[in-house]
Copies of this chain bind each other. A is one copy, B any other.
Protein backbone atom coordinates (compact mmCIF):
# COMPACT_ATOMS: atom_id res chain seq x y z
CA UNK A 1 0.00 0.00 0.00
CA UNK A 2 2.89 2.35 0.84
CA UNK A 3 4.20 1.64 -2.68
CA UNK A 4 0.93 2.95 -4.10
CA UNK A 5 1.33 6.11 -2.03
CA UNK A 6 4.91 6.54 -3.19
CA UNK A 7 3.96 6.11 -6.83
CA UNK A 8 1.07 8.57 -6.45
CA UNK A 9 3.48 11.08 -4.91
CA UNK A 10 5.90 10.65 -7.79
CA UNK A 11 3.05 10.99 -10.26
CA UNK A 12 1.84 14.24 -8.70
CA UNK A 13 5.32 15.74 -8.65
CA UNK A 14 5.84 14.67 -12.28
CA UNK A 15 2.55 16.35 -13.18
CA UNK A 16 3.99 19.68 -12.00
CA UNK A 17 6.08 19.44 -15.14
CA UNK A 18 9.30 20.94 -13.82
CA UNK A 19 12.26 18.58 -14.02
CA UNK A 20 14.33 20.32 -11.35
CA UNK A 21 11.50 19.88 -8.83
CA UNK A 22 11.18 16.21 -9.76
CA UNK A 23 14.91 15.64 -9.33
CA UNK A 24 15.07 17.44 -5.99
CA UNK A 25 12.01 15.59 -4.76
CA UNK A 26 13.70 12.28 -5.52
CA UNK A 27 16.57 13.18 -3.19
CA UNK A 28 14.22 13.47 -0.19
CA UNK A 29 14.17 10.53 2.19
CA UNK A 30 10.65 9.23 2.69
CA UNK A 31 10.44 8.60 6.41
CA UNK A 32 7.79 6.49 8.07
CA UNK A 33 4.84 7.79 5.99
CA UNK A 34 2.81 7.66 9.20
CA UNK A 35 0.11 10.02 7.90
CA UNK A 36 -0.54 8.02 4.74
CA UNK A 37 -0.35 4.78 6.66
CA UNK A 38 -3.12 5.95 8.98
CA UNK A 39 -5.38 6.76 6.06
CA UNK A 40 -5.12 3.38 4.43
CA UNK A 41 -5.19 1.45 7.69
CA UNK A 42 -8.49 3.20 8.46
CA UNK A 43 -9.84 3.01 4.91
CA UNK A 44 -8.15 -0.09 3.39
CA UNK A 45 -10.83 -0.53 0.76
CA UNK A 46 -11.18 3.08 -0.36
CA UNK A 47 -9.93 3.39 -3.91
CA UNK A 48 -8.64 6.92 -3.44
CA UNK A 49 -6.88 6.29 -0.12
CA UNK A 50 -3.41 6.17 -1.78
CA UNK A 51 -4.10 9.47 -3.52
CA UNK A 52 -5.15 11.19 -0.29
CA UNK A 53 -2.17 9.57 1.38
CA UNK A 54 0.10 11.03 -1.28
CA UNK A 55 -1.42 14.49 -0.77
CA UNK A 56 -0.84 14.50 2.98
CA UNK A 57 2.68 13.15 2.60
CA UNK A 58 3.45 15.93 0.09
CA UNK A 59 2.11 18.42 2.62
CA UNK A 60 4.24 16.84 5.34
CA UNK A 61 7.32 16.90 3.09
CA UNK A 62 6.69 20.57 2.26
CA UNK A 63 6.34 21.46 5.92
CA UNK A 64 9.64 19.72 6.72
CA UNK A 65 11.41 21.60 3.90
CA UNK A 66 10.27 24.89 5.45
CA UNK A 67 10.90 23.73 9.04
CA UNK A 68 14.48 22.86 8.20
CA UNK A 69 15.05 26.38 6.92
CA UNK A 70 13.40 27.88 9.99
CA UNK A 71 15.32 25.67 12.41
CA UNK A 72 18.60 25.89 10.44
CA UNK A 73 18.59 22.09 10.43
CA UNK A 74 21.48 20.67 8.45
CA UNK A 75 20.28 17.07 8.57
CA UNK A 76 16.94 15.39 8.05
CA UNK A 77 16.35 11.68 8.55
CA UNK A 78 20.07 11.12 8.87
CA UNK A 79 21.03 12.73 5.56
CA UNK A 80 21.86 16.33 4.64
CA UNK A 81 18.77 18.53 4.39
CA UNK A 82 17.87 20.29 1.14
CA UNK A 83 18.73 23.64 2.70
CA UNK A 84 22.15 22.26 3.63
CA UNK A 85 22.94 21.01 0.13
CA UNK A 86 20.92 23.35 -2.13
CA UNK A 87 20.47 26.41 0.03
CA UNK A 88 17.50 27.62 2.01
CA UNK A 89 15.91 29.37 -0.98
CA UNK A 90 15.60 26.13 -2.91
CA UNK A 91 14.12 24.51 0.16
CA UNK A 92 11.49 27.26 0.43
CA UNK A 93 10.61 27.10 -3.27
CA UNK A 94 10.42 23.31 -3.43
CA UNK A 95 8.24 23.40 -0.32
CA UNK A 96 5.90 25.89 -2.00
CA UNK A 97 5.65 23.69 -5.08
CA UNK A 98 4.81 20.59 -3.04
CA UNK A 99 2.30 22.47 -0.86
CA UNK A 100 0.49 23.98 -3.80
CA UNK A 101 0.43 20.76 -5.84
CA UNK A 102 -1.00 18.97 -2.81
CA UNK A 103 -3.70 21.62 -2.42
CA UNK A 104 -4.50 21.61 -6.12
CA UNK A 105 -5.05 17.84 -5.91
CA UNK A 106 -7.00 18.03 -2.65
CA UNK A 107 -9.73 19.88 -4.54
CA UNK A 108 -10.70 16.52 -6.11
CA UNK A 109 -11.90 15.30 -2.73
CA UNK A 110 -15.16 15.94 -0.94
CA UNK A 111 -15.35 19.27 0.89
CA UNK A 112 -15.52 17.56 4.27
CA UNK A 113 -12.12 16.03 3.54
CA UNK A 114 -10.52 18.98 1.79
CA UNK A 115 -11.48 21.44 4.50
CA UNK A 116 -10.17 19.25 7.33
CA UNK A 117 -6.80 18.77 5.67
CA UNK A 118 -6.51 22.40 4.58
CA UNK A 119 -7.40 23.72 8.04
CA UNK A 120 -4.87 21.38 9.58
CA UNK A 121 -2.18 22.94 7.38
CA UNK A 122 -3.10 26.37 8.75
CA UNK A 123 -2.78 24.95 12.27
CA UNK A 124 0.54 23.39 11.37
CA UNK A 125 1.88 26.72 10.05
CA UNK A 126 0.68 28.58 13.12
CA UNK A 127 2.16 25.86 15.35
CA UNK A 128 5.54 26.25 13.68
CA UNK A 129 5.48 30.00 14.28
CA UNK A 130 4.43 29.60 17.94
CA UNK A 131 7.19 27.00 18.38
CA UNK A 132 9.78 29.52 17.19
CA UNK A 133 8.24 32.32 19.27
CA UNK A 134 8.23 30.15 22.43
CA UNK A 135 11.90 29.30 21.96
CA UNK A 136 12.90 32.92 22.56
CA UNK A 137 12.54 32.42 26.32
CA UNK A 138 12.42 29.51 28.78
CA UNK A 139 8.85 28.21 28.60
CA UNK A 140 7.55 26.79 31.88
CA UNK A 141 3.93 26.37 30.80
CA UNK A 142 2.89 22.79 30.10
CA UNK A 143 -0.50 23.72 28.61
CA UNK A 144 1.08 26.21 26.23
CA UNK A 145 3.50 23.51 25.16
CA UNK A 146 0.77 20.95 24.59
CA UNK A 147 -1.29 23.45 22.60
CA UNK A 148 1.74 24.19 20.41
CA UNK A 149 2.50 20.52 19.66
CA UNK A 150 -1.18 19.96 18.95
CA UNK A 151 -1.01 22.64 16.27
CA UNK A 152 2.44 21.77 14.93
CA UNK A 153 2.23 17.98 14.90
CA UNK A 154 -1.09 16.51 16.00
CA UNK A 155 -3.52 18.58 13.91
CA UNK A 156 -2.50 17.05 10.57
CA UNK A 157 -2.40 13.52 12.01
CA UNK A 158 -5.84 14.15 13.51
CA UNK A 159 -7.13 15.32 10.11
CA UNK A 160 -5.63 12.28 8.36
CA UNK A 161 -7.37 9.89 10.73
CA UNK A 162 -10.68 11.71 10.45
CA UNK A 163 -10.45 11.80 6.65
CA UNK A 164 -9.57 8.10 6.53
CA UNK A 165 -12.76 7.52 8.52
CA UNK A 166 -14.78 9.65 6.10
CA UNK A 167 -13.41 7.65 3.15
CA UNK A 168 -14.37 4.43 4.94
CA UNK A 169 -17.80 5.63 6.06
CA UNK A 170 -16.79 5.43 9.72
CA UNK A 171 -17.32 8.02 12.47
CA UNK A 172 -14.73 10.79 11.85
CA UNK A 173 -14.84 12.17 15.40
CA UNK A 174 -13.71 8.93 17.04
CA UNK A 175 -10.85 8.64 14.61
CA UNK A 176 -10.02 12.32 14.98
CA UNK A 177 -9.53 11.76 18.71
CA UNK A 178 -7.34 8.75 17.97
CA UNK A 179 -5.23 10.80 15.55
CA UNK A 180 -4.96 13.79 17.84
CA UNK A 181 -3.72 11.70 20.75
CA UNK A 182 -1.42 9.69 18.53
CA UNK A 183 0.06 12.96 17.25
CA UNK A 184 0.56 14.40 20.72
CA UNK A 185 2.12 11.19 22.03
CA UNK A 186 4.28 10.96 18.90
CA UNK A 187 5.69 14.43 19.51
CA UNK A 188 6.26 13.79 23.22
CA UNK A 189 8.22 10.64 22.37
CA UNK A 190 10.17 12.59 19.75
CA UNK A 191 11.07 15.16 22.38
CA UNK A 192 12.14 12.44 24.83
CA UNK A 193 14.32 10.80 22.18
CA UNK A 194 16.09 14.11 21.64
CA UNK A 195 17.33 13.72 25.22
CA UNK A 196 17.83 9.97 25.58
CA UNK A 197 19.23 9.01 22.16
CA UNK A 198 22.77 9.52 21.03
CA UNK A 199 23.81 11.72 18.17
CA UNK A 200 24.30 8.84 15.75
CA UNK A 201 20.80 7.40 16.24
CA UNK A 202 19.15 10.82 16.06
CA UNK A 203 21.07 12.23 13.13
CA UNK A 204 21.43 15.47 15.11
CA UNK A 205 23.23 16.51 18.31
CA UNK A 206 21.69 15.33 21.59
CA UNK A 207 19.75 17.94 23.61
CA UNK A 208 19.38 19.72 20.31
CA UNK A 209 15.89 20.99 21.16
CA UNK A 210 17.04 22.72 24.33
CA UNK A 211 20.07 24.23 22.62
CA UNK A 212 17.62 25.66 20.06
CA UNK A 213 15.59 27.11 22.91
CA UNK A 214 12.81 24.55 22.84
CA UNK A 215 11.66 23.57 26.33
CA UNK A 216 9.95 20.25 25.79
CA UNK A 217 8.02 18.38 28.48
CA UNK A 218 10.99 16.80 30.32
CA UNK A 219 12.49 20.29 30.73
CA UNK A 220 9.21 21.80 31.89
CA UNK A 221 8.80 19.02 34.47
CA UNK A 222 12.44 19.36 35.46
CA UNK A 223 12.03 23.06 36.08
CA UNK A 224 8.97 22.38 38.24
CA UNK A 225 10.87 19.81 40.34
CA UNK A 226 14.15 21.67 40.88
CA UNK A 227 14.95 23.90 43.88
CA UNK A 228 15.35 27.66 43.26
CA UNK A 229 19.14 27.55 42.84
CA UNK A 230 19.00 24.72 40.32
CA UNK A 231 16.04 26.36 38.55
CA UNK A 232 18.40 29.27 37.92
CA UNK A 233 21.13 26.95 36.68
CA UNK A 234 18.68 25.30 34.26
CA UNK A 235 17.31 28.55 32.84
CA UNK A 236 20.84 29.91 32.45
CA UNK A 237 21.57 26.96 30.13
CA UNK A 238 18.63 27.82 27.89
CA UNK A 239 19.11 28.55 24.22
CA UNK A 240 22.89 28.35 24.00
CA UNK A 241 25.67 25.85 23.48
CA UNK A 242 25.82 24.10 26.84
CA UNK A 243 28.94 22.60 28.42
CA UNK A 244 29.30 18.83 28.77
CA UNK A 245 29.09 19.34 32.51
CA UNK A 246 25.72 21.09 32.29
CA UNK A 247 24.49 18.62 29.72
CA UNK A 248 25.36 15.70 32.02
CA UNK A 249 23.81 17.49 34.98
CA UNK A 250 20.52 18.02 33.09
CA UNK A 251 20.33 14.37 32.09
CA UNK A 252 21.16 13.18 35.62
CA UNK A 253 18.58 15.44 37.22
CA UNK A 254 15.97 14.27 34.72
CA UNK A 255 16.64 10.68 35.75
CA UNK A 256 16.73 11.52 39.46
CA UNK A 257 13.55 13.58 39.33
CA UNK A 258 11.86 11.22 36.87
CA UNK A 259 10.88 13.91 34.43
CA UNK A 260 11.42 11.72 31.39
CA UNK A 261 9.34 9.03 33.06
CA UNK A 262 6.62 11.59 33.77
CA UNK A 263 6.64 12.73 30.15
CA UNK A 264 6.48 9.15 28.97
CA UNK A 265 3.54 8.56 31.31
CA UNK A 266 1.61 11.38 29.71
CA UNK A 267 2.30 9.93 26.25
CA UNK A 268 1.07 6.60 27.54
CA UNK A 269 -2.11 8.13 28.97
CA UNK A 270 -2.82 9.78 25.62
CA UNK A 271 -2.15 6.49 23.87
CA UNK A 272 -4.57 4.71 26.17
CA UNK A 273 -7.30 7.23 25.31
CA UNK A 274 -6.53 6.75 21.64
CA UNK A 275 -6.91 2.98 21.97
CA UNK A 276 -10.24 3.50 23.74
CA UNK A 277 -11.47 5.73 20.92
CA UNK A 278 -10.97 3.09 18.23
CA UNK A 279 -11.63 -0.07 20.23
CA UNK A 280 -11.23 -3.20 18.16
CA UNK A 281 -9.16 -1.59 15.34
CA UNK A 282 -6.20 -3.89 15.85
CA UNK A 283 -3.95 -2.31 13.21
CA UNK A 284 -4.39 1.13 14.70
CA UNK A 285 -3.49 -0.16 18.13
CA UNK A 286 -0.37 -1.71 16.62
CA UNK A 287 0.66 1.64 15.16
CA UNK A 288 0.33 3.24 18.59
CA UNK A 289 2.26 0.49 20.31
CA UNK A 290 5.17 0.45 17.91
CA UNK A 291 5.25 4.25 18.02
CA UNK A 292 5.60 4.15 21.81
CA UNK A 293 8.42 1.60 21.54
CA UNK A 294 10.42 3.31 18.81
CA UNK A 295 13.88 4.58 19.57
CA UNK A 296 14.46 6.84 16.59
With beta carbons under 8 angstroms apart, the residue of B92, B99, B111, B124 that contacts A69 is B92
With beta carbons under 8 angstroms apart, the residue of B97, B99, B103 that contacts A129 is B97
Establish whether residues A18 and B130, one from each chain, have CB atoms under 8 Å apart when the complex forms. Answer: yes
Establish whether residues B118 and A97, one from each chain, have CB atoms under 8 Å apart when the complex forms. Answer: no
CA distance A129 to B121 in the complex (A): 22
Q: Any chain B CB within 8 A of the CB of A70?
A: yes
Q: Any chain B CB within 8 A of the CB of A32?
A: no
Establish whether residues A92 and B118, one from each chain, have CB atoms under 8 Å apart when the complex forms. Answer: no
With beta carbons under 8 angstroms apart, the residue of B96, B107, B128 that contacts A114 is B107
CA distance A251 to B4 in the complex (A): 56
Q: Any chain B CB within 8 A of the CB of A56?
A: no
Establish whether residues B122 and A101, one from each chain, have CB atoms under 8 Å apart when the complex forms. Answer: yes
Query: Using Cβ atoms and an 8 Å threshold, which residues of chain B touch A107?
Result: 106-107, 111, 114-115, 118
Establish whether residues A128 and B70, one from each chain, have CB atoms under 8 Å apart when the complex forms. Answer: no
Q: Distance in Å from the Cβ of A100 to the closest Cβ of chain B? A: 4
Interface residues of A in 71-126 (CB under 8 A from B): 88-90, 92-94, 96-97, 99-101, 103-104, 106-108, 111, 114-115, 118-119, 121-122, 124-126
CA distance A263 to B128 in the complex (A): 44
Establish whether residues A70 and B92, one from each chain, have CB atoms under 8 Å apart when the complex forms. Answer: yes
Q: Any chain B CB within 8 A of the CB of A180?
A: no
Q: Any chain B CB within 8 A of the CB of A46?
A: no
Q: Knowing that A20-B133, A66-B93, A88-B88 touch, tell me 18 more A-B residue pairs with CB under 8 angstroms.
A: A16-B126, A18-B130, A66-B92, A66-B96, A70-B89, A70-B92, A94-B129, A96-B99, A96-B125, A97-B122, A97-B129, A100-B118, A100-B121, A100-B124, A104-B121, A104-B122, A107-B118, A108-B115
